[in-house]
Amino acid sequence: NAGVTQTPKFRVLKTGQSMTLLCAQDMNHEYMYWYRQDPGMGLRLIHYSVGEGTTAKGEVPDGYNVSRLKKQNFLLGLESAAPSQTSVYFCASSYSRGQFGSYEQYFGPGTRLTVT
């Protein structure tokens, strides 16, 4: 099993450009998440999904959109990149515990994005 994979690993964008980050998991997890990691800020939740076809906003959703058309994939889009979106982006997935939420999260290796 590959676990959680992220594409690409690195990317440099110019302000105003758009891009999509792809997260894929082969563990049949229901829940998927996108976080950003910034120095001194820890991990902050951008968007998450509790199942195929559903998405919800996290702590810092502005400037990002997501889609979960297939259970195994969770896409994070930046429509018009800004320097403030320079960060390391992590995807994670987890099993569902039904009404009790999710089990532990499994993380991808991260995508380092620089916006100039």
Torsion of CA 66, 107, 43, 69, to 10 degrees: 10
- Judged by CB, which is closer to other proteins: 47, or 115? 47
Asked whether position 90 contacts other proteins by CB under 8 A, the answer is yes
Quick one: 3 or 16, whose CB is closer to other proteins?
3
Residue found under tokens 């998405």 = 55
Residue from 1, 14, 69, 100 in contact with other proteins (CB under 8 A)? 100
Nearest 5°: the CA angle 43, 15, 65 is 50
User: Which residue of 20, 61, 110, 112 would you call a contact of other proteins, by CB under 8 A?
Assistant: 110
